[in-house]
Structure 1
Amino acid sequence: LWQEGIERGEWSCSYGGFCRRYNKWKATHKLSMRQTYKSGEKVFVDYAGMTVAVIDPASGESNAAQIFVGCLAASNYTFAEATESQALGHWIGSHQRMLAFFGGVPKAIIPDNLKAGVTEACRYEPGVNRTYTEFAQHYGVAIIPARPYTPRDKAKVENAVQMVERQILAPLRHRRFTSMAQLNRAITERLEPLNDREMKQYGLSRRALFERTDQPALSPLPPHRFVLAQWKTAKVSPDYHIQVDYHYYSVPYWYVSRRVNVKITEQVVEMFYEHQRIASHPRSALRYRHSTVDEHMPPKHWEHQRQSKDRFVAWAEHIGPHTQQQVEAIFESREHDEQAFRSIKGIQRLASQYGCERLESACQRANAFGMSGLRRLKSILSAQLDEHPLSPPTTPSGPEHENVRGTSYYQ
């Protein structure tokens, strides 16, 4: 710009003079709006850029602990802790411990556009992770991500991060930590003096300002802790089950081939279709096993699942004693109970076709002649032999002869 102005004769000042004038003009256009925060309204959260090494004493491996920082807007009251990573589980866990540290819930949480919490960074309509949204609903708090590439939107936490790095992490840089618990104890020891130190701008410490402004305005904590859940999308297989960690859980059979959302917690697995819960199961650690609810099965599958010897015998007993005897004889003639199931289901069909009374009569005739099986009963009913009276068995008599002893000899 300076060179172009010299060539066009618009100014004759030196390059240094031009830069001084330009910076003076720029300062009048780079303005900042003073933010006024209501008590208990917002808490800003972010991770510090500085990490702390945690060394495993057994393997000697070093893990860079991530430092989570939260700061209440009205009082600057600060929370800090170390976690193993910035993954979703640690992100949500840090939020829970932060709110417990504050002893209440603000109206809104202002996070940075961290991938664990924000699925789509947008200036106007940012996307929030589903688990993070459920966490907010559980605590009754709003999630308002800061605008991307706009650090002034979260100046409070930027300043809090700077204070944590200078007042807590820097003095710990020469110490060796072998566990996350040991590191967090050290952070807590130095966090208390940070919150108790007087701020010159306010003439009060962060803790005193918190007790005067934010603390009375915070909403109470919910009675139950938030249960962290993972979400996945699964396609229902033809056997109306979906797979979670190599265990198979049933859903109603009419959702076969559809994609459902699966919510996985430590204790429960829930399935949702179009935001409606369609199934729920206790979570199982058994691999390659099935958890099936009878109501999820098609009627034919349900009837097949309920087949058993006791159920068939109970049905036959309801028809009559001769039918029960016939059914028991069929079971005794088979090596395995399931081999008799089809035969007895055929007998049940005969009862529907000919009626229970005729089936009982047919079974009586078959039992009298020592016959058993579906084909024998079907022949008796089709020939209407069950309607003929059953004559008592007769003893054949031989010719009279002096060498024939007769029945009286054997009595």
Structure 2
Amino acid sequence: MMRMTMPTAPISMRKLKEILRLKYGCKLSHRQIAKSLSVSPSIVSKYACKSAELDITCWPLDEKWDDNSLQQAFFKTKPRLKGFTIPDWSLVQQELRPKTMTLLLLWEEYKERHAEGFYSYTHFCRQYKAWLKCQKPSMRQNHKAGEKLFVDYCGPTMSIVDRSTGECRTAQVFVAVMGASNYTYAEATYSQKLEDWVMSHARCFEFLGGVPEQIIPDNLKSAVTKPCRYEPDLNPTYQQLATHYDTVIVPARPYKPKDKAKAEVGVQIVERWIMARLRNETFFSLRQLNLKIQELLIDLNQRQMKKHPGSRLSQFEAIDKPALKPLPLQPYSYTLVKQVRVHIDYHIEIEKHYYSVPHTLIKQKLEAHASGKLVTLYHQGIRVAVHPRSYREGAHTTLELHMPIAHQKQQQWTPQRFERWASQFGKSTEQFVMQLMQAKKHPEQSYRACMGLLSLGKKFTDQRLEAACHRALATGVTRVKQVKTILEKGLDKQPLPQAQGDSLQDIDHKNIRGNNYYH
């Protein structure tokens, strides 16, 4: 039997050298090299593997590798040795789980053990891939230690009964499965909304005692705002969680169930081994339900697996746990992240409350980070405002420094300030100012009138303004213009009549008709 050999000169020597230059000199990927040279990625992989066999791993090439040497090494056919040893492919798959392990290293160890007859590296890789294709779908993916965490929700829900009313409320069951060990986490939440979704991840990481390299979610709205096979748009709050834990979110492709096969199997197991056992029990709180789920989860993870050695827990502690990233020192706090646009009144809206930003950013798009205590606003990555979080719907939180100058001056005036100013003239002036403000639906609408009234003190003296306001209150005058007329006509200097009815009868003037006029 002959060894497998590479075809004779399928590409030119120039292209062969260019493949080596781009791979070892420019550090390009096989696909990038293939695109640059207009060849298939498999061709690039073939010669890259061959170069590894020949210990060619750098550029420029060593002087011994002239064109003739390359021709002999890459394109010359060689007879195969007889009696080669077939590797144990299941053991190879098991060995590949650690992140640092490579097929090349396993092939070198295999070659040393079977020097009398062994596969070439190319044939070794080809045969391993062929073996993988013959396995069951659940065995096709070779998950690295600590690399992937698959997350999803169960289809069925659990019921929680309100003791006081007897009403039932449904609870969703969140499931997370480690790729390499199948170690499983589950908990119940009241919804699949963003906050429940994100906080389930945070509690899952605490349960694992570390953070995986990647999170593989389905395309639910709390995870992906715009599903796409190639470039899905992640929910910014979910992305912020990944940033905090220094991990990567890689959503499963739509309509590609193999991308999240671990999650599908994990969901099925939780439904059968946890939810089915709880179907006849009654729960009166979410905490009570989760305590029971945790109890059954321990049993599930310690149960012996049929298709893998040991239990999920033993596999996790041996494979996944040592490879997990450490938890961040600062605990995660739920932070709503959303894109907002600045309104014309230089405020943005978060959950029906309004927060101010510098007025120069009107109509600009900002990124808002709203935690339980703070609202932080960013423009083009630069922080532009920070406010304490408020949950008062319809209310405004405004900083004076965010206002235009004209608005800042207006903001300095308050009803209390006008009342204090008016009280300096006297009680009647203070009462008239209060009357002006009470006549309007909003006190701010009367500020201009109040300022106009009080400014009359500069022109006519404080004493005369107080007297004019006293006469205005006594005679039912309600407008500032009428008070000004009293001052201009000097009526403030005249005494008020004792009884309004008697004084009207005693007035004798040529322009006033008497009682006889009407008879």
Match of 1:174, as an amino acid? N
Shift of 1:277: 2.8
Partner of 1:149: 255
Helix, strand or coil at the partner of 2:276:
helix
The alignment's C-alpha RMSD in Å is 3.7
Match of 1:335, as an amino acid? T
Q: For 1:337-382, what per-residue CA distance to the aligned partner results, in whole angstroms no more than 9, with x for missing partners?
A: 9889789999xxxxxxxxxxxxxxxxxxxx9xx999xxxxxxxxxx
Helix, strand or coil at the partner of 2:277:
helix
Q: For 1:281-315, what per-residue CA distance to the aligned partner results, in whole angstroms no more than 9, with x for missing partners?
A: 1122445543222221222333444479xx9xxxx
Counterpart-to-counterpart distance in 1, 2:450 and 2:268: 79
Partner of 2:429: 335
Counterpart-to-counterpart distance in 2, 1:38 and 1:104: 15
Aligned with residue 218 of structure 1, among 324, 339, 342: 324
Aligned with residue 138 of structure 1, among 244, 267, 275: 244
Q: For 1:212-266, what per-residue CA distance to the aligned partner results, in whole angstroms no more than 9, with x for missing partners?
A: 1111111111122322233455443443233444543221111234444433322
Aligned with residue 155 of structure 2, among 38, 49, 53: 49
Q: Aligned in 2, Cα 1:259/1:66: closer, same or farther, shift over 3 Å?
A: same
Q: Aligned in 2, Cα 1:125/1:329: closer, same or farther, shift over 3 Å?
A: closer
Counterpart-to-counterpart distance in 1, 2:145 and 2:252: 20
Partner of 1:297: 403
Counterpart-to-counterpart distance in 1, 2:394 and 2:174: 39
Partner of 2:141: 35
Q: How does 1:155-174 map to 2 (within 5 A)?
A: 155-174=261-280
Partner of 2:39: none
Counterpart-to-counterpart distance in 1, 2:228 and 2:235: 13
Aligned with residue 241 of structure 1, among 320, 343, 347: 347
Corresponding position: 1:120 with 2:214: no
Pick which of 73-82 and 62-71 moved more.
62-71
Partner of 1:380: none
Corresponding position: 1:209 with 2:351: no
Counterpart-to-counterpart distance in 1, 2:402 and 2:273: 59
Match of 1:266, as an amino acid? G
Identity %: 44
Q: Is the 8 A contact 2:171 2:188 kept in 1?
A: yes
Q: Is the 8 A contact 2:146 2:178 kept in 1?
A: yes
Q: Aligned in 2, Cα 1:218/1:290: closer, same or farther, shift over 3 Å?
A: same
Corresponding position: 1:92 with 2:92: no
Q: Is the 8 A contact 2:423 2:429 kept in 1?
A: no
Aligned with residue 376 of structure 2, among 254, 265, 270: 270
Structure 1: unaligned runs, 5 residues or longer: 1-27, 312-327, 347-366, 373-411
Q: Is the 8 A contact 2:422 2:429 kept in 1?
A: no
Structure 2: unaligned runs, 5 residues or longer: 1-132, 434-446, 466-519
Q: How does 1:383-394 map to 2 (within 5 A)?
A: none
Match of 1:203, as an amino acid? P
Counterpart-to-counterpart distance in 2, 1:173 and 1:330: 73
Taking CA–CA contacts closer than 8 Å with sequence separation of 6 or more, which of the two structures ends up with the larger relative contact order?
Answer: 1
TM-score (norm 1): 0.66
Higher share in strand: 1
The number of equivalent residue pairs is 312
Match of 1:173, as an amino acid? R
Match of 2:167, as an amino acid? E
